[in-house]
Amino acid sequence: MMWYRMLAIWTAYAVEPLVLQIPRRSFTRLRLMSDFEDLSHENLLSKWVEGIWTGLQSSDAGDPRDPGNCLESYRPSWNITRPSYFDSGLDEEPPRRYTLQVDTDKLLDIAGPAGRLIVSWTTGGPKRWSIAQNLALSIRRNTPELEPIFVFIALDADAVRRARDSGFNAVLNDGSGDLQDDIWKMRWLIQTTCVSLGLEVLVVDSDIVFLADPFRHFFFDSDVEAMTDHFFPAEQLWATWLRPAEHINTGFLFVRPSARLLAFLVEFIDVHYHGHEGPTPRDGMDQRVFNKFVMHKMEKSPPEVVSRYENITFSGLDWQGKTRRFTPRATWEVPIGSSDTITIRILDPVCISHGMNYFWRKAYKLKSCDGSGQPPAVVHVNGVDPKMYFLRDRNLWYVNDWDDRFNDSTSFLVYHHPKGLNLSADFEVLIAALEIGAYFRRRVVLPDTMNCANSPAYLIYNLSETMVDEPGCTYDYFAHANGLYEVYSRVKPYAIEAGIAREPRFKELSIQRLRGSLQLREELLSAHAERRAAFPSARVLEVDDIILLRDGLRSGSFGLRMNPEHVFSCAFQEPLIGAMACLDEPYVEEFGAEAMCEAQSFVKGCGPVGICCCWPFWGWGEKLQYFTGVKWDLPCNCGVSVCETFSRRLDSGSENCCRHAGSTALFPVTDPGVFYCETNFSWSGPTGAEDSNTYTSQALVEFAANKRTVQQSFQTCSLDRLLRRGDAFPETTLRECNLQFSQELKSYVVHALSS
């Protein structure tokens, strides 16, 4: 369908209005050019008519009927280049791509008269498509009025087929042939394409869920409106001691077309065009790279980016006060900015919610989003891992795949998990339930009644208020969610998420309470021999006292003795030092060593593999202290006693290892890949940023601006290489850091000479 607009024009020479009927595509281009020239539609057309008339009088002018001759001067400049050390010669570099290779007419048709799109992208692979399909279905179910303007950019033909089979819009992008590079650039190419067509576009990651119309929460006063990963943006936005990726969550970006924004986006793509600059790789996390790009623009004089949040306009970085981690400000190399300023508005992280605010804090209960206690408009499944677990457990999974997950023989076990237990007792009961699930060859429905007060974040993150009307907490409030899910749900079929109990298909299943124990021995032996669930007549088996049943089966009270070594392996649980934000070098430099969470402060110990309370990733426990000052102080093994530590002699001394409580084995039998002995690795002091080996390393950025000394910058590189890159000798670290900084200086000189 071709959309048309009726445009009425009055000119200085007209005594009556002139009414033109023009195609939708022409009108959107007219609007873009009008914004570019800062003229009204009628004045812009008057200017063109005068120019064409003048051109007709000139023998040197081209054919005025050729739109290219008339409008060339009104097109944004695309000749933005950046010398790249990666290229053997600039003349040999193939042309750079700054827009998608898609059917733009179709995008314009989908945008319709309002000139607005919602866009995501996906491949047709089953894993990627399932998440993308969930996004699309959430729009269809919760905001059906937005479905007509929603479209997938398909990265392969399978994605087009899957989208169209489900009734969703999709256009195929003819990519570069490098899928990884296309995915890195995709959100930015979508924006440049839509902006160049004069369209407003909301670009969303496929792991977004729509619960209500997000446009009601936009201000429409900025070039870009974006989600944030902050909990407290009014206090912490643009502080440089924080990880740069916190400020703007690029999984949710709304942009309004203008020539200055187009130039800004093209520059970002261009500056980070290649996967490597010499031997130095590009940061794989484009969100972190974009934040650094924005922060660099904010520091220019005058600033080329201005940021807003609610009624606050931020004057620059570190607006909270003087920072102690840099050299004196008078020594900084402050780049000169231009007069073209981009405005970026940060949206409310409660109503446009990142994953941590929704899946854990339930912050929407503290604030009105379209009505008191109503959920946010959108939820980003970021900062939570694994995504599929959280979507299913919190009942945000809209794909009807029950029959793909389960068959008629799949059986479940539910049990009474007592409330108000301390941490160790909570996890002892949980582990007992996993054992019973294994013995009965059933999937145990994980509890949602664990004691929320055991979380170190209980008060500071207001769980004491937001969880008061909930039955309790799920295990992921305390332990690494992916560990338990990977081991006991995906690899071993012992567990299923708590949220399944709220699903309609589950409620339809027959349920039976386990009564008596006279036939328990025969039933369990038969179930294992026949490879079926115990008591198969009931799809759901209910157990009252899970601890009593587990202890009886372990001790042989029912005529057979079950061995927990066949259910889980014991592993030595240690913190993942490089992930703890309270060890970040900028954080420690800013607040001093006394604010740091020393690596040795985490209580290491033996526990069931996959159940670890000092790995609460990503954005939850490992950032608690750095966001709030409250320590995440749970023991790595969650305080359980089902595993024990023993000392094993070696030729050169001894080592601490783990085995099941009561075992005497010196070499315990474990599942493949389980580390049951303490590693020799030790770490003391701060850690360097995980992107320190990339060509957008913060150490390089601050070194180039003369904000940090040579010694400080090399220290960051050294910390990163010793922790993450496996350097065994200081000489290796010195060589690699020297190469990285030499490369940056060389690129800087080449760029300066070409400017």
Both tokens of 333, joined, read 């190399």
Rounded CA separation 667/591 (Å): 45
Q: What is the pLDDT of residue 688?
A: 93
Q: φ and ψ at 470, to 5 degrees?
A: -100, 155
What is the structure's pLDDT at 367? 87
**Three-state SS at 501:** helix
**Percent residues over pLDDT 70 in the chain:** 86
For 482-532, how does the pLDDT look when each residue is reduced to its tens digit (9 = 90+)? 999 999 999 999 999 999 999 999 999 999 999 877 789 999 999 999 999
Task: Tell me which of 91 and 266 has the higher pLDDT.
Answer: 266
Task: Give the number of other CB atoms < 10 A from CB of residue 378.
Answer: 29
What mean pLDDT value characterizes the chain? 88
Comparing 28 with 552, the larger pLDDT belongs to 552
Q: What are 195-246's pLDDT values in tens digits?
A: 999 999 999 999 999 999 999 999 999 999 999 999 999 999 999 999 999 9
Residue 251: name the closest of 140, 403, 120 by CA.
Answer: 120
Closest CA to 196 of 70, 96, 100: 100
Average pLDDT value for residue range 386-414? 96
DSSP per residue, 547-604: HHHHHHHHHTTTSS---GGGT--EEEE---GGG-GGGBHHHHHHH-GGGS--GGGS--
CB 692 within 8 A of CB 722: no
Residue at token pair 């409310």 = 348
| pLDDT given for residue 63 in this prediction | 40
The answer to whether the predicted template modeling score (pTM) of the entire model surpasses 0.85 is yes
For 312-354, how does the pLDDT look when each residue is reduced to its tens digit (9 = 90+)?
999 899 999 888 889 988 899 888 998 889 999 999 999 999 9
Kindly give the residue spans of alpha helices, DSSP state H, lying in 38-100: 41-56, 67-71
Q: What number is the average pLDDT over the span 96-103?
A: 93
Task: Fill in the amino acid letter for 612.
Answer: C
Q: Of residues 603 and 642, which shows the higher confidence score?
A: 642
Q: What confidence tens digit (pLDDT) does each residue in 352-370 have?
A: 999 999 999 999 999 888 7
Question: CA-CA distance, 32 to 23, in Å (whole number)?
Answer: 15
Which pLDDT value is given to residue 21?
60
Would you state the pLDDT for residue 682? 78
pLDDT at 603 over 90: no
- Read off the DSSP letter of residue 661: T
User: Which comes out higher in pLDDT, residue 316 or 601?
Assistant: 316
Q: 83: pLDDT confidence band, cut at 50, 70 and 90?
A: very low
Least confidently predicted of 1-15, 106-120, 643-657, 660-674 = 1-15
CB atoms within 10 A of CB 306: 19
Helix orientation angle between 259-271 and 179-196, rounded to the nearest 10 degrees? 170
Whether 589 and 325 have beta carbons less than 8 Å apart is answered as yes
Burial zone of 41 (CB within 10 Å; 0-12 exposed, 13-18 middle, 19+ buried): middle
Give the residues across from 653 on adjacent strands: 650
Q: How many CB atoms sit inside 10 A of residue 232's CB?
A: 10
SS3 content of the chain, % helix, strand, coil (to 5): 40, 15, 45
Read off the tokens for 10: 């009055």
Specify which residues 660 forms β-bridges with. 643
Span 423-435, pLDDT tens digits: 999 999 999 999 9
Residue bearing the bigger pLDDT, 751 or 562: 562
From CA 386, how far away is CA 389, in angstroms rounded? 6
Residue in the block written with tokens 């929603």: 150
Count the neighbouring beta carbons within 10 Å of the beta carbon of residue 424: 16
Letter string b/e over residues 575-593, b meaning 16 or more CB atoms within 10 A of that residue's CB: bebbbbbbbbbbbbbbbee
Q: What percent of the chain lies above the pLDDT cut of 90?
A: 69
Residues forming a β-bridge with 23 = 4
3-state class (DSSP) for residue 528: helix
Report the distance separating Cα 318 and Cα 241, nearest Å.
9
Residue with the bigger pLDDT between 545 and 81: it is: 545
Residues 79-90, mean pLDDT to the nearest whole number: 43
* 278/490: higher pLDDT: 490
Q: What is the mean pLDDT of residues 64-82?
A: 37
**Local structure of 175: helix, strand or coil:** coil
Over residues 400-415, the mean pLDDT reads 96
> What residues are paired with 413 via a beta bridge?
444, 541
Question: Quick one: which of 100, 109, 313, 61 has its CA closest to 186?
Answer: 100
Burial class of residue 755 (count of CB atoms within 10 Å of its CB; 0-12, 13-18, 19+): exposed
- List own/partner pairs for 172-178 with CB under 8 A and 24 or more apart: 172/102, 172/103, 173/100, 173/101, 173/102, 173/121, 174/101, 174/102, 175/101, 176/97, 178/275
- What pLDDT score does 87 carry? 44
Would you state the pLDDT for residue 728?
Answer: 84
Amino acid identity, residue 675? F
Q: What pLDDT is attached to residue 54?
A: 55
Residues 43-72: tens digit of each pLDDT: 776 666 566 545 544 544 444 333 333 323
What pLDDT is recorded for position 183? Answer: 94
Q: Please report which confidence band the pLDDT of residue 726 belongs to, taking 50, 70 and 90 as the band edges.
A: confident
pLDDT reading at 754 higher than 60: no
User: Are residues 658 and 671 in contact, defined by beta-carbon separation less than 8 angstroms?
Assistant: no
Dmax over CA atoms of the chain, in Å, equals 107
Rounded to 5 degrees, what angle do the CA atoms 290, 296, 302 make?
A: 130
Task: Phi first, then psi: give them for residue 715, nearest 5 degrees.
Answer: -65, -40
Banded model confidence at residue 416, pLDDT cuts 50, 70, 90 = very high
Q: Mean per-residue pLDDT for 445-454? A: 98
The rounded distance, in Å, linking the Cα atoms of 418 and 529 is 33
Residues 32 and 37: their CA atoms lie apart, in Å, by 9
Model confidence at 306: pLDDT above 80: yes
pLDDT digits (tens, 9 = 90+) for 686-722: 999 999 999 999 888 888 889 988 899 889 999 999 8
Q: How confident is the model at residue 462 (pLDDT cuts 50, 70, 90)?
A: very high
Does 167 or 69 have the greater pLDDT score?
167
Q: Say whether 100 sits in a helix, a strand or coil.
A: coil
Q: What is the pLDDT of residue 66?
A: 35
Q: What is the pLDDT of residue 1?
A: 40
